Amino acid sequence: MSGPIHVLNGPNLNRLGKREPEVYGRTTLAEVEALCREAAGGTPVVFRQTNWEGQLVDWIHEATDGDAAGIVINPAGLTFTSIPVLDALKMFGRPIVELHISNIHRREAIYHRSLVSTVATAVIAGLGARGYATAMHAMRDLLG
**58 in a known ligand binding site:** no
pTM: 0.95
Query: How high is the mean pLDDT in each 10-residue block of the chain (144 residues)?
Result: 91 93 88 98 97 98 97 96 97 98 83 91 96 98 95
Q: Which of 6, 24, 105, 132 is catalytic?
A: 24
In the annotation, is 100 catalytic? yes
Contact (Cβ atoms closer than 8 angstroms) between residue 96 and residue 30: no
In the annotation, is 112 catalytic? no
* CATH number of the domain located at residue range(s) 5-107 in this protein: 3.40.50.9100
**87 in a known ligand binding site:** yes
Every domain of the chain and the residues it spans: 5-107
d(CA 128, CA 117): 18
Q: Which of 100, 105, 112, 137 is catalytic?
A: 100
In the prediction, which pLDDT does 71 show?
98
